[in-house]
Structure 1
Amino acid sequence: MNKTQVKIYFSLFGDDFPIDDVTEKLEVTPTDTYKKGDLIQNRSTFIRKETSWDLGTGYQFSLDVNDQLKQIIGMLQNKSSVINEIKEAYSLECKFFIVIKIENGNTPALYLDKDIIKFASSIDAEIDVDLYANPYNDFGE
């Protein structure tokens, strides 16, 4: 039986910047990076339009997105001033991506507690939610 999965990642992105410098300043190893001009995997003719430093959870079985958000924010919580310095130095933006794969109609709790909102606000981050609802049969109706 397939279960609902949630993936969260935080992204610092912009035109072009030294990824290794961001890693060094944050003292956190990213889970993914790419440079402007890189080929997009599985799309041989498409290239990246920006450079990105990402920190994510990967897909996890979950019915509460806060569980995954807290994993990522826990690694960045005390680094808001460093994130803001990096953003200013390289003219970057930042965003939290919440990606949900819904299976069998099992939707996770999707709310943001005040600590998450406060941290996102402190670094001027946007929050992007992507929902993928896979088809299922509801035999209850």
Structure 2
Amino acid sequence: MDKDFVTITFNRDTAFIRFSIVADEWPIDKFTEEIGIKPTEVYKKGDPYIRGKRKSTRVETVWSIETGIVYRRYDDDEDKNIFESLIAPFKSKIALINKYRKKYELTCIFFVHYVFYDASTPGTRLDPSVISFANNIEAIIDVYIDNKLTLEDEGWF
């Protein structure tokens, strides 16, 4: 079977998880030093950025870490393993996160984005360990699901 066809057919569904800590203004550099985890992205309120051709400034201060795009294989513990790869370093840092969260009125958010193809949206689950961690830091969990076109609609057949 053609390798490109297999890749496009069977390795297209993806997951992406970002964990962000957000507030108007808070000491993200000090937090990074104390927590000992390198973030994927940080920015401060007022920082300039460009989206498309439009220049703008950040409206909040954000510290975040993400999994990057993960291709789904539909193993039994897959959702748990994807989350665990992200939150494992934080499990021993709950007290520190909560100290900052309370002092600076931070919001902790998980942004979970699934992309499925051919309108086949399988079930996903949150393991109790993930729910427990999110609860311990009073995190919001936002889940987004996109369904993409079928292979026929994309011109493969």
TM-score normalised over the length of structure 1: 0.87
Aligned residues: 139
Correspondence for 1:29 among 9, 33, 38: 38
Is the 1:65–1:109 contact (alpha carbons within 8 Å) kept by the matching residues of 2? no
CA distance in 2, matches of 1:77, 1:14: 21
8 Å contact kept, 1:4–1:106: no
What's the TM-score once normalised by structure 2's chain length? 0.79
* Identical pairs, percent: 32
1:83 corresponding residue in structure 2: 97
Amino acid at match of 1:46: S
1:47 corresponds to which of 40, 57, 63: 57
Structure 2 gap segments, 5+ residues each: 1-7
Mapped to 2, the partners of 1:112 and 1:73 lie a distance apart of: 13
| Residue in structure 2 matched with residue 97 of structure 1 by the alignment | 111
Please tell me the root mean square deviation across aligned C-alpha atoms, in Å: 2.0
Q: Any stretches of 5+ residues in structure 1 without a counterpart?
A: none
Tell me the amino acid that sits aligned with residue 46 of structure 2: G
Tell me how far 1:41 sits from its aligned partner. Answer: 4.0
Structure whose alpha-carbon radius of gyration is higher: 2
- 2:14–2:69 CA contact under 8 A, matched in 1: yes
Report what 2:147 is aligned to: 133
Task: Measure how far apart 1:65 and its partner are.
Answer: 2.9
